[in-house]
Amino acid sequence: MSPPALDLVNGSWRPGGPGLYAGVALKLAGAEPLLVGPIGYMTLATVAVEREAGLARLGYSTTSPGAVFEIRYRGDERSVKPLHKPPALDTVEVLKVARRLYWDAVILSPLLGEEAGWILSLLWSNTRLVVVDVQGYSRAGLADVVGGRGVHQLLHASRGEDKWGERPWGIVVVTDGMAPITVYTSWGEEVVVDPVGPRLSDPTGAGDAFTGLLAVMLLRGYSLRDAVERASSMVHIALSKARGYMGAGNGVLS
């Protein structure tokens, strides 16, 4: 659940958003994702790219420009500036989808405070795996809403950027570009895994793709370490496919 986005990456406009990147990754892993979220008039091109990638979106039009971000990379450092805030999630529209079926997984990836936590609390009863990307909550100062017991089973955060209040319940995965991936659980298990695959010169969307792939691997019964290694090894392939739908390069450093 996340709106489509439009990103200005180092001066170049590009379709984006967690739905696009995670969606391409999920299809790569053999899953059938359904994207949910409001569409702004500036993000209509992103929806077209999602369709080109074979992704279905249950979206609803708004009068907002949509989620538009400026992303700048300086070496390994990244800065993200919202140019237009994403519209709030429509509770009625979301419930129409969330209550329709029992889902294998729901990935909730708000971009900037458009979801304040109540939707998260409603997903538990009809979803096998509730996955949260904490980034949007952290940007909006709402990180505490994802720290409680019984609101998710898997949380993804970016080291140095995201905060998530008290030590949260479930499985927590912390990534930091090409640095080792740290995985720990509320029941005391902890593993550290080096990323698998080539170094990415432009890692935009890598966290979203990784989160989607990791959810699939966990649902298939892999151990934490194996799930993280398998997911990380497929990220560069997913990003290359996503860039292909956008008409951009794959961003792999030689």
Q: What is the CATH number of the domain that holds 13?
A: 3.40.1190.20
Residue spans of beta strands (DSSP E) within the chain: 5-9, 12-16, 34-39, 56-61, 67-74, 77-84, 103-108, 127-133, 154-158, 171-175, 181-185, 190-193
Is residue 253 in some structural domain? Answer: no
Residue at 114 is within a domain = yes
Span 16-54, pLDDT tens digits: 999 999 999 999 999 999 998 889 999 999 999 999 999
Predicted TM-score (pTM) of the model is: 0.87
Q: Assess if residue 218 is contained within a domain.
A: yes
Mention every residue, 6+ apart, whose C-beta is less than 8 A from residue 160.
176
Domain membership of residue 138 (yes or no) is yes
Domain that holds residue 187: 5-246
Quick one: DSSP state of residue 123? S
Q: Which two tokens stand for residue 182?
A: 């740290």
- Alpha-carbon distance 244 to 163, whole Å? 33
Mean model confidence pLDDT for the chain = 83
Indicate whether 252 belongs to any domain: no
- Please give the residue that has the higher pLDDT: either 91 or 43: 43
Look at the block and give the residue holding tokens 């740290």: 182
What is the pLDDT, as a whole number, of residue 119?
76
| Tokens, residue 7 | 């990103």
Rounded to whole angstroms, how far apart are CA atoms 72 and 130? 30
Angle at 26 between CA 157 and CA 254, to 5 degrees: 75
Pairing of strands 181-185, 12-16: unpaired
Domain assignment of residue 251, yes or no: no
Query: pLDDT at position 254, please?
Result: 25
The confidence score (pLDDT) of residue 21 equals 94
Number of structural domains found in the chain: 1
Reduced to 3 states, what is the DSSP secondary structure of residue 222? coil
Interval 118-127: pLDDT, tens:
777 667 667 8
Instruction: Provide CB contacts within 8 A for 154, sequence distance 6+.
Output: 129, 130, 131, 132, 170, 171, 172, 173, 211, 214, 215, 218
Q: Does some domain include residue 192? A: yes
Q: With respect to residue 210, please indicate whether it lies within any of the assigned structural domains.
A: yes
